[in-house]
Amino acid sequence: MGTINARKRKDGTTGYTAQILRKKGGAIVWREAKTFDKKREAEAWVRWREAELDKPGAIEQLSKGDSTLADAIDNYVDAKRTIGRTKAQCLRSIKTYAIASKDSRTIRSVDIVSFADELLAGGRKPQTVANYISHLAAVFRDAKAAWDIDLDYGEMQAAQRTLTRLEKTSKSEERTRRPTLAEIDKLMEHFADRQLRAPHSAPMCKLIAFAIFSTRRQEEISRILWDDLDEPHSRILVRDMKHPGQKRGNHTWCELTPEALRIVKSMPKTKPEIFPYTGDAMSAAFTRACQFLEIDDLHFHDLRHEGISRLFEMGRTIPLAASVSGHRSWNSLKRYAQIKEVGDKFAGWKWLDVVTK
């Protein structure tokens, strides 16, 4: 039973301090006190609080200490064997917001919606906000079962539904940007000149051409080993190919077009990787060049789009195009089938001979 002690304050008024003590095996396992202006308020609080503490597991739950959302994020990142670069960046960014310092037990859907509002106020688009919330939802989903951190996944799901209804989050728009041949030629001229001035820099001309003709993503290009090349059958083993439900071990044999094989064979066999350059370095160099050349809204990944669309324009069927791109279904491949012209716009392209010397 709790106790109530009356004490005179310096201003002459009386305060009533209610104290609750819980013991187990003779040891104090919980102590709590709160002061009120009126005795009946203190008595009511003791009755209510003791009823709460008598619930199964209540003392154990209170005794384990506070965990913040930031703690849960750290646990999640540490526990994941692999985590995408974009996802890791999002989670690090979330830790800089006020919601990350909140006690995990107190976070409700209104807090998550308020966090989304902060992101929107900071200039992020609803598609980007949706990515942040999706990555955060993964932390909520695993926090209780994996680390006994009390994040309520039900509150997260409620917040996601509300954000969708209020149009504060939305699906990402599919990019349809394809470079023109003139834009690619400008980039090739730029990087060829850079190669002359800095011979040890990454051979971006080769990397750009290979990205188009192989349809490979930048991270895939950086992982291809000489051991992954099956030259007699003109194919490569693409390791850990991007897949929504399988982050690792999704190794896929992909056909190499004749142009892509020529580029591979032109590379020196000095390292295990055919292209020993990081995906981040490729992307950064490409972005800087586009800015310098005033080529608007073009990403390195758009070269993959160009390469796949080229296959359709050359008359490849869906299965034959998929044998190069690695796509498993028409639904994921069809957005690339933008037939702008018939034939191969890279026929007789001078840069192929330049990069394969």
Where exactly are the structural domains of the chain? 3-63, 69-165, 181-355
The whole-number pLDDT of residue 290 equals 96
Element containing residue 5 per DSSP (H, E): strand 3-8
User: What confidence score (pLDDT) does residue 295 get?
Assistant: 95
Contact present, 37 and 27 (Cβ < 8 Å): no
Which helix (DSSP H) or strand (DSSP E) does residue 18 occupy?
A: strand 14-24
Question: Is the Cα dihedral 22, 24, 27, 30 positive or negative?
Answer: negative
Q: How many residues does the chain have?
A: 357
pLDDT in tens, the chain (357 residues): 688 999 888 888 999 999 988 888 877 778 888 899 999 999 999 999 888 888 887 776 665 557 899 999 999 998 887 777 788 889 999 999 999 998 898 899 999 999 999 999 999 999 999 999 999 999 999 999 999 898 999 999 999 999 999 999 998 777 788 999 999 999 999 999 999 999 999 999 999 999 999 999 999 999 999 999 999 999 999 988 876 555 566 789 999 999 999 999 999 999 999 999 998 899 999 999 999 999 999 999 999 999 999 998 998 888 888 999 988 776 767 766 666 678 898 999 999 999 998
Whole-number pLDDT of residue 248: 61
Q: Whose structure tokens read 């040891």?
A: 27
pTM for the model: 0.64
Determine how many CB atoms are found less than 10 A away from the CB of residue 266.
14
Q: What is the pLDDT of residue 115?
A: 95
- The span from the CA of 220 to the CA of 16, in Å, is 69
Between CA 344 and CA 288 the distance in angstroms is 28
What architecture (CATH level 2) is domain 69-165?
Orthogonal Bundle (1.10)
Name the fold adopted by 181-355.
hpI Integrase; Chain A (1.10.443)
Contact present, 324 and 312 (Cβ < 8 Å): no
- E strands present in 167-301: 229-230, 235-238, 252-255
For residue 108, give the nearest of 164, 161, 158, 167 by alpha carbon: 158
In this predicted structure, what is the pLDDT of residue 244?
A: 53
How many beta carbons lie within 10 A of that of residue 151, not counting itself? 22
Is residue 109 within 8 Å of 162, Cβ to Cβ? Answer: yes
10 Å CB burial of residue 336 (0-12, 13-18, 19+) is: buried
